[in-house]
Amino acid sequence: MSNESNLQVTFSKRPCGLFKKASKLCTLCGVDVALVVPSQNNDTMQFNEARRNANVNELNDQLTQINNTLDDVKKHGDELRHLHKEIKALFWWACPIGGMNRVELEFLKKASKELKNLVAQHVIGIAIQDVPSQTLPFFAGNASSSDIPLYMSNPRQAQIFPPQLPQNHMLQSNLFGYNNIR
């Protein structure tokens, strides 16, 4: 323009329009645009869409990472729920009683009774095994060797039940609360 005043008016009205057009062009076409508009009073106005796109791309990358992490967490949660269902099915009796239905409660009652019977049988079996046997010593040999027994006492039994000598309870000094021995 030859007239400087017209140039001044044109520049003051058009930079916003130029920047809007450049922004639309960047958005629609995906191109990087940079505008530098000098003015007569040595001011420059600039437009750079590349920075905004870089920020948008960076934010899109972060969003993609977050979505991938969210998907992984959802998959892990689904696996844990599935595993919880399997464990609950295997160990239903370990679940709180309040969460059981009538059939499960009846089955638990029956299983508890069976367990009680099995424990009682096991205790009886252990008690029978631990009862000291009435093994009488067998003396072999002639009369001079009759003090050597031919049996071995059960060492396990000796550890569990220490040998006790027969006692006459009537000779205890405090039987029935008074002194029996005078």
CATH number, domain containing residue 35: 3.40.1810.10
Q: What is the pLDDT of residue 10?
A: 62
Residue 141 inside a domain? The answer is no
Residue 125 inside a domain? The answer is no
Residue 38 inside a domain? The answer is yes
Tokens of 14: 């058009």
Report the chain's terminal Cα–Cα distance, integer Å: 145
Q: What is the pLDDT of residues 129-181, one digit of tens each?
A: 776 655 555 555 555 555 555 544 544 444 444 555 455 554 555 544 545 44
Backbone phi, then psi, for 181, in 5-degree steps?
-95, 125
Backbone phi, then psi, for 139, in 5-degree steps?
-95, 125
Q: What is the pLDDT of residue 37?
A: 74
Q: What is the pLDDT of residue 156?
A: 47
Cα 143 from Cα 157, distance rounded (Å):
31
Q: What share of the chain is helix, strand, coil (3-state, %, to 5)?
A: 65, 5, 30
Q: What is the pLDDT of residues 121-139, one digit of tens each?
A: 998 888 887 766 555 555 5
More confident residue, 53 or 35: 35
Q: What is the pLDDT of residue 76?
A: 97
More confident residue, 78 or 31: 78
Whether 93 contacts 108, CB under 8 Å: yes
Residue 61 inside a domain? The answer is yes
Q: What is the pLDDT of residues 87-127, one digit of tens each?
A: 887 877 677 888 888 888 898 899 899 999 999 999 888 88
Whole-structure pTM value:
0.34
- Say which residues have a Cβ less than 8 Å from residue 132's Cβ, sequence separation at least 6: 154, 157, 161
Q: What is the pLDDT of residues 59-73, one digit of tens each?
A: 889 999 999 999 999
Residue 12: domain span: 4-71
> Per the structure, how many domains does the chain have?
1
Whether 169 contacts 155, CB under 8 Å: no
- Say which residues have a Cβ less than 8 Å from residue 180's Cβ, sequence separation at least 6: 170, 171, 172, 173
Residue 131 inside a domain? The answer is no
Q: What is the pLDDT of residue 115?
A: 92
More confident residue, 142 or 2: 2
Task: Give the burial class of 104: count Cβ atoms within 10 A of its Cβ; 0-12 exposed, 13-18 middle, 19 or more buried.
Answer: middle
Whether 149 contacts 137, CB under 8 Å: yes
Helix orientation angle between 49-90 and 15-29, rounded to the nearest 10 degrees:
40
Instruction: Give the model's confidence band at 24: pLDDT under 50 very low, under 70 low, under 90 confident, else very high.
Output: confident
